[in-house]
Structure 1
Amino acid sequence: MNILITGGTGFVGKHLTASLHKKDHHTYILTRSPENKENTNLTTFIGYDYPAEKLPVIHAVVNLAGESLFGYWSKKKKDAILSSRINTTNHVIDLLQKMKTKPDVLISGSAVGYYGTSEDLIFTEATKQSGNDFLAHVTTQWEKAAKKAEDFNIRTVYTRFGVILGEEGSLPYMQLPVKLFAGGKIGNGEQWLSWVHVEDVVRLLEFCIFNKEMKGPINVTSPHPKRNKDFMRSLANVLHRPYWLPVPSPLIRLVVGEMAILVNKGQYVLPQKALDNQFEFSFPYLKEALQHIKQRHQDFNK
């Protein structure tokens, strides 16, 4: 198959591309600087000005591009977080419109931030009401832009990612205080963290590509979320570090501004559609997921 990916050089994109290559699928990576990339027999880098008519038949599109959420959320940063996702998705829709033969599916990134935050509610894909904070606004606009693909009779999936654990992303930031012997819960520690191992992210993305029953919102999270206090305790245990020093919520907000909502607040999200469609997680439990990531890091650095 020919699969077009935006954000193909990012954390999830690199893992997805590598997995698709193992199955002999050809990836077309949409990037702003194709001249700095080297094509291979299974990867072709194309720019945003690449004509649609020059592409071969594309069987699936995976839209993962977007400004990183990490960093102080100034107005400029928040504008970039929103505009990068909307502009890229609009470009993808324009590309789809110009394709003579349409792909079977568009998988467009989103996030569990769609649901807003809560310490007591359980969210599934059946939850229709979005939250009212900045991340909820971003994800609703992002999904709205991608929904235009349905006008071309393209099966459209909105993958609502939880906190993705791996060698990149948020885990290195979360590990740092623990490694420095300053690990502990953040705030009161009661906030839910809906996490997922990056390998399960890739497997679920591929599941959505090849399973025609998968459409609409799909929660990409482990079936076993953890409260922050339990997540940090497990992380300290796996890293053989003490778990003892709470981090006050106001301190987090002082350092990263409104981005503090990512760690001070949370939501309990279940991947109900994945479970209903018999998707089996390789890492449903946190301790095993963290141990696997640690071992892989150690093996890589030998």
Structure 2
Amino acid sequence: MRVAVTGGTGFVGRALVKALLERGDDIWVVSRKKAGSSSSNDSRLHQVTWDELAVSPGSLEGTDVIVNLAGESINQRWTAAAKQRVLHSRTEAAARIANLVSQLNQKPEAVINASGISAYGNSLTATFDESSPLKVTDFLSSVVEQWEQAANAIPVKRLVKLRVGVVLNRTGGAFPLMALPHRLFAGGRLGTGSQWLSWIHLEDMVRLILFCIDHREMEGPVNGSAPEPVTNDQFGRALGKAIGRPHWLPAPAFMMKAVLGEMSSLLLEGQRAVPRKAIEHGFTFKYPTIESAMSQLSGKS
């Protein structure tokens, strides 16, 4: 299979490219700039820039699937300029893919476009699945709304809008920073601790993307999150237990807001989302519970 991956040099993208190569696919990594050198000598791994595609879109003629993971990191202080970059990077990537696909004689069978679990807004009580309506309650949910609107314009038979939760991995992404207070014996709940965290292990995230590539019945919104979301307090307790550290020192909400500004909503707010569509179509999670994930993340399995 021939697969193009935008954002293929990012946290999830690198893991996905590795998995695609391991199963024998032909990969085109699309990025703003070409890497100086590739750590892989695999002849099936190719690099192309957006500028090169603008001049010669035929480079991706015959591509079976495009996976769009491109987007500016949200892990930064949300100044007005940063918020604009976060939004623009996502809508621009979707628009570029729409333009690219429209120029191809042989269209890809599917586009899997990353989105966010923030699509449903924030709630302490509701449970959301793919049938739940989008609700704009804050900056991130407004980004997801515009992101998915841009993706809807991609002229492809099958569009998957993969609403990704917090992706956990031992050496990358948010987890090392999330675990740092506990490793320093200063871990505890953030705010009330009752806010929900819809999470997924990196390995399951990659496996779910491959599942969406291979199963043509997968289309529309797909929640990329584990079947058992947890509250912030439950997450911290599971983390502390896994690494042998106490969970005792709460961080008041006002302190988080003072330090992080609006970005504190990432830690103080959330939603309980479940992957109904993936489960109904037969996908199985290797790490369905936070305890199983923490065991692997802490090096115990």
Which bracket does the TM-score occupy, shorter chain normalised?
over 0.9
Give the counterpart letter for 1:103 in structure 2: P
Aligned to 2:203: 199
Aligned to 2:243: 239
Contact 1:37 1:45 in 2 (8 A): no
Aligned to 1:155: 158
The answer to whether 1:97 aligns with 2:102 is: yes
- Which runs of at least 4 in structure 1 moved beyond 6 Å after TM superposition? none
Aligned to 1:16: 16
Give the counterpart letter for 2:23 in structure 1: K
Aligned to 1:76: 81
> SS in structure 2 opposite 1:49?
helix
Contact 2:134 2:145 in 1 (8 A): no
The answer to whether 1:48 aligns with 2:50 is: yes
Provide the C-alpha distance between the structure 1 equivalents of 2:35 and 2:206, rounded to a whole number of angstroms: 27
Aligned to 2:276: 272
> SS in structure 2 opposite 1:295?
coil
Provide the C-alpha distance between the structure 2 equivalents of 1:171 and 1:192, rounded to a whole number of angstroms: 16
Matches within 5 A, 1:203-282: 203-282=207-286
> SS in structure 2 opposite 1:36?
coil
The answer to whether 1:138 aligns with 2:143 is: yes
Question: How far has the Cα of 1:35 moved from its partner?
Answer: 5.3
CA RMSD of aligned residues (A): 1.3
Which digits, 9 at most, give the CA deviation of each residue in 1:21-55, with x for residues without a partner?
11110110111111524364121110112211233
Provide the C-alpha distance between the structure 2 equivalents of 1:160 and 1:62, rounded to a whole number of angstroms: 13
Which digits, 9 at most, give the CA deviation of each residue in 1:55-82, with x for residues without a partner?
3410000000101010111111111110
Which of 92, 106, 111 is matched with 1:106 structurally?
Answer: 111
> SS in structure 1 opposite 2:299?
helix
Question: How far has the Cα of 1:191 moved from its partner?
Answer: 0.5
Contact 2:238 2:291 in 1 (8 A): yes
Count how many residue pairs are aligned between Structure 1 and Structure 2.
295
Question: How far has the Cα of 1:250 moved from its partner?
Answer: 1.3
Provide the C-alpha distance between the structure 1 equivalents of 2:4 and 2:298, rounded to a whole number of angstroms: 31
Provide the C-alpha distance between the structure 2 equivalents of 1:98 and 1:293, rounded to a whole number of angstroms: 43
Give the counterpart letter for 1:13 in structure 2: G
Contact 1:72 1:255 in 2 (8 A): no
Contact 1:114 1:139 in 2 (8 A): yes
Contact 1:221 1:271 in 2 (8 A): yes
Provide the C-alpha distance between the structure 2 equivalents of 1:218 and 1:37, rounded to a whole number of angstroms: 35
Question: How far has the Cα of 1:129 moved from its partner?
Answer: 3.3
Question: How far has the Cα of 1:169 moved from its partner?
Answer: 1.2
> SS in structure 1 opposite 2:147?
helix
Question: How far has the Cα of 1:254 moved from its partner?
Answer: 1.4
Question: Normalization by structure 2: what TM-score?
Answer: 0.95
Question: Normalization by structure 1: what TM-score?
Answer: 0.95
Contact 1:123 1:269 in 2 (8 A): yes
Contact 1:7 1:30 in 2 (8 A): yes
The answer to whether 1:86 aligns with 2:91 is: yes
Provide the C-alpha distance between the structure 1 equivalents of 2:173 and 2:144, rounded to a whole number of angstroms: 18
Compared with structure 1, are the counterparts of its residues 237 and 107 closer, same or farther at alpha carbon in structure 2 (3 Å cutoff)? same
Which digits, 9 at most, give the CA deviation of each residue in 1:211-260, with x for residues without a partner?
01100000011100011101001001111111100011111111111111
> SS in structure 2 opposite 1:158?
strand
Identity of aligned residues (%): 37
> SS in structure 2 opposite 1:91?
helix
Contact 2:118 2:144 in 1 (8 A): yes
Which deviates more from structure 2 when the two are superposed, residues 186-195 or residues 250-259?
250-259
